[in-house]
Amino acid sequence: MDSREQSATLTPAQQAMSALWDEHMRSEFESHSIEDTLETMVEDPHVNHVPVLTGGVGLEEVRTFYTEHFISQQPPETDITPVSRTVGNDRVVDELIYGFAHTIEMDWLLPGIPPTGRRIEVPMVVVVQFRDGKIAHEHIYWDQASVLAQAGLIDPEGLPVSGAESARKVLDPASVPSNGLIERAPDEVREQLTGKGFSKIHIQHPAQHPAQPRSYRESEPLSRHRVARYACPHLVVPDRYAPS
């Protein structure tokens, strides 16, 4: 649905919210204007980048965050690709792909990490709440494991983690096969993990070990291992966390 078709299906109030959010984004990523960005928000906004807890609560915290850590830390090679937008009575939800070259410090996304020079692409979901015609808060979600893998900060081999292919699959569902991480052979996972310093890997298969009951006797000690087993009976657990 293009913007004209979408506008035809929205109420005037919804069109105004969508337009204000577009203005907010232009102020952040095009004009880089702190004041214009804050002008779109209420007097007591909050911003929460959920995976890393960056943002701010209240106008002054949000102003400081935008000034020192967000608007000023957008790499020159940044691409934002819209995927979908849902507009409700007091909320706008955007699905997008955020792509960039990690050539500068980005406290809001990778706090404490110096530039790696890596190209990173990650799907994001932005939930924007409105109040009295202005933006009250933003909650932004993404897969931080994918960001860390693409930045070269974790090795995704043997882990249930995807890289830039997760962004490609959002844009083109047929471009990346589904269930690749599920279909890895257990022996392959064991070999990859033992090569990373695990002396022995316990792998329980759902077909061989049915799920245990969710109840337990009060007299039983609940170690982290036991709690994990109740929640996920086929969990991969290294020896050092397993009960003796």
Specify the 3-state DSSP secondary structure of 171: helix
Taking only the tens place, the pLDDT of each residue in 65-113 is 999 999 999 999 999 999 999 999 999 999 999 999 999 999 999 999 9
Kindly list the distances between the CA atom of residue 76 and the CA atoms of 82, 111, 207, in Å, as whole numbers in the listed order. Answer: 18, 18, 50
Element (H, E) at 237: strand 237-238
Q: Which range has the worst mean pLDDT, 1-5, 48-52, 151-155?
A: 1-5
What is the arrangement of strands in the sheet containing 134-142, beginning at the earlier edge strand? 54-57, 41-49, 134-142, 119-131, 91-101, 78-87
List Cβ neighbours of 192 (8 Å cut-off, separation of 6 or more): 157, 158
Residue 7 pLDDT grade (very low, low, confident, very high; cuts 50, 70, 90): low
Specify the 3-state DSSP secondary structure of 36: helix
Q: Is the pLDDT of residue 141 over 70?
A: yes
Percent of the chain surpassing pLDDT 90: 69
Q: Is 137 exposed, middle or buried (0-12, 13-18, 19+ CB in 10 A)?
A: buried
Question: Nearest-CA neighbor of 163 among 105, 119, 112?
Answer: 119
Q: Is the pLDDT of residue 155 over 80?
A: yes
Question: CA-CA distance, 226 to 221, in Å (whole number)?
Answer: 8
Q: Domains in the chain and their CATH numbers?
A: 3-171 (3.10.450.50), 186-241 (no CATH)
Taking only the tens place, the pLDDT of each residue in 8-29 is 689 999 999 999 999 999 999 9
Residue 158 pLDDT grade (very low, low, confident, very high; cuts 50, 70, 90): confident
Q: Which range has the worst mean pLDDT, 97-111, 135-149, 175-189, 202-216?
A: 202-216
Phi, psi of 15 (to 5 degrees): -60, -40
Kindly list the distances between the CA atom of residue 172 and the CA atoms of 83, 126, 152, 166, 168, in Å, as whole numbers in the listed order. Answer: 11, 20, 25, 10, 6
